[in-house]
Amino acid sequence: MNQAIRHSWVAAIAMFALIFGALSYVQVVGADELKANAWNKRAILQNYCNDRGAILVAGTAIAESVEGNETCKFQRTYTQPELYAGITGYFSKNYGVTGLERAMDAQLAGSSDQLFLDRIGQLFLGNQPKGASVELTIDPEIQKLAYDLIPDGQRGSIVVTDPKTGNILAMVSKPSYDPNLIATQDAAKEQASYNEIIKVPGINLNPSVSGPTGALLAPGSVFKIVDTAAALGSGKYNADSQLPNPAEMSFPGIQYRLPNYAGGNCYTRNTADFAFALQQSCNTPFASIAEKLGEEAIAGQAAKFGWGQGLGDQLKLDYAESIFPRDLDAAGLAQSAIGQRDVRATPLQIAQMTSAIANGGVQMTPNLIKAVRSPDLRVLEEPKPVPLRTSTTPEIAGQITEWMTSVVSEGIGAGAAVPGVQVAGKTGTAELGTDGLNNSWFTGFAPANDPQVSVTIVMQGVDITTGAQLTSPNAKKIFEAVLNK
Amino acid sequence: MTHADTMPKPRRNVELLLLVLALAVSIGANALISIDDQNAFDTDFWFQSSLLAVAALAFHVVLRIRAKYADPVILPLVVALNGLGLAMIHRLDAPGEDTGNNQMRWTLIAMAVAIAVIWLLKDHRILRRFTYISLAVSALLLILPLVPGISAGEILGARVWIRLGPMTFQPGEVAKITLAIFFAGYLSSNRDLIMLAGRKIGPLQFPRFKDMGPMITAWLVSIGVLIFQRDLGSSVLFFGLFIVMIYVATSRISWVVIGLSLILGGGFIASQVFSHVALRIDSWLNAFTEEVFGRSPGGSGQIVEGLFGMASGGLVGTGLGQGRPNLVPFANSDMIIASFGEELGLIGLFAIVMMYLLLFTRGFRAALGTRDAFGKLLACGLSFAVALQCFVVIGGVTRLIPLTGLTTPFLAAGGSSLLANWIIVGLLLMISHTARGPVDTTPMQPGRTPEAQKTPGKPAAAPGNRPGKNATQTLPDAPTEAVKQL
């Protein structure tokens, strides 16, 4: 009997050994994972009332912690809330943290390892913990200009980057919202505002599903840049190739006809060279390229431009990966080649494509962070330009630049022309359905011979005329503003 | 057992010293919490601290008088655990809430009852006379929560509560003790029969079918608790208690095999048939999926919030009163372990779990030391029940196993649990008193024990699985055959 008692004791000890193991796992081994869980409100509650570092644009705070009340020493406020909401995100007690507030939380909250020495200092001096400040690459004037170029009530995004460095100079979208309403300490107000805000269609609350980094839109004709790069890169086409340019294309076995673009002068020729096809944005020449090269070649080139790929680790914001569908039939491939059907791209992805052409085929890593500084202004982090991927050769990029320049000087992108400056551009009109509404695109860069700035504009759900007015002419204004600085 | 050859020592002074330490821990914890309060060290604090100290010392004095050879470590361990629980419950009380004072009242009631048990019972072997009465009382206690009029209805999905005037009570907690008494009494009388008969299959000797009666009874009780009271935790506890006791009575591993297969089979069928069991298992396996996390009731929010709390405590904890254990639902009862994990850290929680480990180890020690089969079975069963209950609760909180609604002994808020566990402590102290004391006390009235009535002429069984191999185990089982008269 005593032996059995001892065995029972061993069984009880074994259970307790399991308990010790489980406790160690939860509290030490797996603790970091649990702390990082998005549902875990403790992290934000812990530093909710601390003096969080500021997010700065050209030396001015766009998000900062100001004196709060008795229960909470500091209150997070956004000085130009709607203008920067898509970038800063919000810092909310009950709805979590988004945008750069989340991505740079370790630095802003002062818990980053880079701030270790500062923390020790605070400990000894008894000071309140204070986070590092984050300075952005954004140019506030361009950001404001771009934001105002999207009419209120219009859904759209604008991305302005420096193609040589990957620095983002402006990134805006509408509709936007006021993050102050969600960062308030008044829980009832916070909840009411949140419920009000999420009702707005297309609102950019989560950068991985909406806004310049997250909205997955049909790119339309701007995708023809991918076809052109694929054609030249295949060796089967050269700069002088003549492409078939029928009024419509038919496919074996189905009723569907792919029509040419009706808005330009496509109908005047039965064959077209690349320059004409791009200038007038004819559809059938590019569909024929896709037919000849096959799905693999187009998809491969799309991947080289970033479709289905990541955007590096300097953007910090969440984003969506752009999509090029696979296993297409002949009609599907033809439609995909002109950026319709199920091809999707974020505005930032189109900006990346254009910047690769501008930068001799090399795509730079998109970057929002100019510098991270400790409370005593010591620079903790200063991202350098990093090439992200090679999209095409310098020769092909140069050739496409030449053709894109003619789109603006002689073709349907004329509205973007800036006097005295060579502007390269490409327009796109992606049909959304049969009701005549489109996603209207412009993407381009200037000056063509020494690119300083790339601009990508998309206006969602507009008719052809409105789209034309809101894209190329607006790009011109941004080119002028950047180049006249 | 070899301490018959050394002079027994009461060790009551050791107990007193440890008790002072335990009180220092309890009152210290309470003081740490009071510091953050507006009215630190007010009369309430001094009143509660002195009440706890007086009650603990009174218990100590009773032991000096009635059970002077009782294990000196058990009482201090329990006082420390109970005191820590009081401090934490007090700390978790929102303004206007009175759970802390209620727990204090129940602590005093429970200690008084435990003292009464020691004072009135004198010798645990008397309980053997109540074997079948215990069974009847167990059945009554388990049925009470289902009786209309007395039942407090379904609270948090389980029907385990009865209404006593203004209070609610969980009779199942006490049933744990009466069932243990029944099993101990029944098995100590019938273990020879169960042991000797049976057929051998492979290395295991299986019992005859008619000896399976008690096993089937225990299984039915457990399944009944699961179905009618919807209390998975108690169901597992009752059955685990029974398996251990029948294993200790017979030393047959086959009982454990049969028992585990019954419980696994029953559990599997229950998870298929009853939604409350399926939900428990789902919220354990898929705790971190959005749908399960947000589900209410029956979601994993409670477990996950508890895990977040414990993770934020880390190795050293936030310090008492410095964390946010209130974010966890039931922070002062079912999830009190998570509250301790957050504020005392892994180190503090290890210390608490170590106290439980020492507590049940001392219980097993008493089982080894006592000379009667009934006492051995009872001490072993009760000690194992405490260990199993801790395992089920802490395992559930740490997501090692599905979370069930059992209470953490001595720590969690809840009067019935406190009362039952203090009675267990009283019984363990008494058994340890006979175990550690001089080899024999006065004999019980001859001819009155159930065994003597039932198996006349049959030699008392040797209390060992290998008779003859262990010379120290040849002491006879029946108390009528005293060896040494002091």
Domain locations along chain A: 220-368+386-483
Helix (H) or strand (E) holding B480: none
Measure the CA–CA gap between A314 and A165, rounded to whole angstroms. Answer: 12
Q: Alpha carbon A373 to chain centroid distance? A: 25
Task: Note whether A434 and A463 are within 8 A (CB).
Answer: no
- Mutation site for B-interface testing, chosen from A6, A10, A19, A93 by largest number of B Cβ within 10 Å: A19
Beta-strand pair A133-136/A55-57: parallel
Q: Which residues of B touch A4 (CB under 8 A)?
A: 247-251, 465
Whether A27 has its CB under 8 Å from any CB of chain B: the answer is yes
Closest CA to B36 of B323, B313, B317: B323
Query: Both tokens of residue B73?
Result: 């470590």
CB B312 within 8 A of CB B342: yes
Give A94 to chain B, closest Cα distance, Å: 12
B-chain residues within 8 Å CB-CB of A13?
A: 357
- Maximum CA pair distance of chain A? 104
Positive or negative, the CA dihedral A100, A104, A107, A109 is positive
CB distance B80 to B355 below 8 Å? yes
The confidence score (pLDDT) of residue B475 equals: 41
Rounded CA gap, B281 and A221, in Å?
53
- For residue A372, what are the β-bridge partners? A134, A381
Q: Is A221 a catalytic residue?
A: yes
Q: How many H-runs (helices) and E-runs (strands) does chain B carry?
A: 16, 4
Cross-chain residue pair A12–B394, CB shorter than 8 Å: no
Is the Cβ of A10 closer than 8 Å to some Cβ of chain B? Answer: no
**What CA–CA distance (Å, rounded) separates B116 from B176?**
19
| DSSP-assigned letter for residue A150 | S
**Contact: B314, A7; criterion CB under 8 Å:** no
B376:A8 CB<8 A: no
Of A65, A221, A288, A355, catalytic: A221
The owner of tokens 């209620």 is B102
B204-206 and A453-462 strand pairing: unpaired
Contact A312, A365 (CB under 8 A): yes
CA-CA distance, B477 to B45, in Å (whole number)? 50
DSSP secondary structure letters along B278-324:
HHHHHHHHTTTSHHHHH-TTT-SHHHHHHHHHHHHHTTT-S-TTTS-
Amino acid at B447: G
The structure's pTM equals 0.65
pLDDT tens digits, residue range B222-253? 778 877 877 888 888 888 998 899 899 888 88
**Residues A324, A343: Cα–Cα separation, whole Å:** 5
What residues of chain A lie within 8 A of the CB of B288, using their CB? 37
> Per the CB < 8 Å rule, is B373 touching A12?
no
The sign of the torsion formed by the CA atoms of A38, A40, A42, A45 equals positive
Contact B350 A42 (CB under 8 A): no
Token look-up 């709607």 returns A82
Predicted confidence pLDDT, tens digits, chain A (485 residues): 889 999 999 999 999 999 999 999 999 998 888 887 878 877 777 667 778 889 999 989 999 888 877 667 788 899 999 999 999 999 887 788 889 988 888 888 877 777 776 666 665 665 556 788 999 999 999 999 999 999 998 999 999 999 999 999 999 999 999 999 988 878 788 888 888 888 888 787 877 788 899 899 999 999 999 999 999 999 888 888 888 888 888 887 777 778 877 767 788 888 888 888 888 888 889 988 998 899 999 999 999 999 999 998 888 898 999 999 988 888 889 889 988 888 999 999 999 999 999 999 999 999 999 999 888 888 888 999 999 999 999 999 999 999 999 888 888 888 888 888 999 999 988 888 777 788 999 999 989 999 999 999 999 999 888 888 899 999 999 999 999 87
Among A245, A325, A343, which residue's Cα sits nearest to residue A289? A245
- Tokens for B155? 């609270």
User: What is the chain A residue with the closest CA to B1?
Assistant: A2
Q: Which tokens go with A398? A: 């140069």
Domain A220-368+386-483 belongs in CATH node 3.30.70.141: no
In this structure, how many other beta carbons lie within 10 angstroms of the beta carbon of residue A330? 18
> Alpha-carbon distance B101 to B15, whole Å?
27
Residue B458 has pLDDT above 50, yes or no: no
- Chain A, 37 to 96: residues with Cβ < 8 Å from chain B are 37, 39-43, 45-46
Q: Please check whether residue A157 is in contact with residue A217, taking contact to mean a CB–CB distance below 8 angstroms.
A: no
In the sheet that A424-431 helps form, which strands lie side by side, from edge to edge? A168-174, A155-161, A453-462, A438-446, A424-431
DSSP letter for each residue of A232-258 = HHHSS--TT-EEE--SEEE-TT---EE
> Is residue A405 a contact partner of residue A274, using CB atoms and an 8 Å limit?
no
SS3 A50: coil
Task: Count CB-CB contacts under 10 A for residue A147.
Answer: 20
CB B458 within 8 A of CB B391: no
Provide the pLDDT for residue B480: 37
Sort out which chain B residues have CB atoms less than 8 A from A35's CB and list them.
Answer: 308, 311-312
Total residue length of chain B:
486
Q: Where are the domains of chain B?
A: 124-473
Q: Any CB–CB contact under 8 A between A29 and chain B?
A: no
Of the residues B244, B322, B388, the best mutation for testing chain A's interface (the one with the most A CB atoms within 10 Å of its CB) is B244
The beta-carbon neighbor of A3 closest among B251, B293, B394 is B251
For A32, the closest chain B residue by CA position comes to B311
Asked whether the beta carbons of residue A8 and residue B247 sit closer than 8 angstroms, the reply is: yes
Question: Taking CB atoms and an 8 Å cutoff, what residues of chain A touch B310?
Answer: 23, 26-27, 31, 34
**Of A3, A4, A35, Cβ closest to residue B311:** A35
Give percent of chain B above pLDDT 90: 37
When comparing pLDDT for B290 and A28, which is higher? A28
Chain centre distance of CA B321: 28
Residue in A8, A19, A28 nearest the CB of B314: A28
- The residues near A425 (Cβ < 8 Å, ≥ 6 apart) are A404, A407, A408, A413, A416, A442, A443, A444, A445, A472, A475
User: Would you call A259 helix, strand, or coil by DSSP?
Assistant: strand
Q: Is the model more confident about A279 or about B481?
A: A279
Rounded CA separation A115/B377 (Å): 60
User: What is the rounded distance in angstroms from the CA atom of residue B70 to the CA atom of residue B366?
Assistant: 9
Q: Is A446 left (phi over 0), alpha (psi -120 to 50) or beta?
A: beta
- Å between A47 CA and nearest CA of chain B: 13
Please, are residues B88 and B352 in contact by the beta-carbon 8 Å criterion?
Answer: no
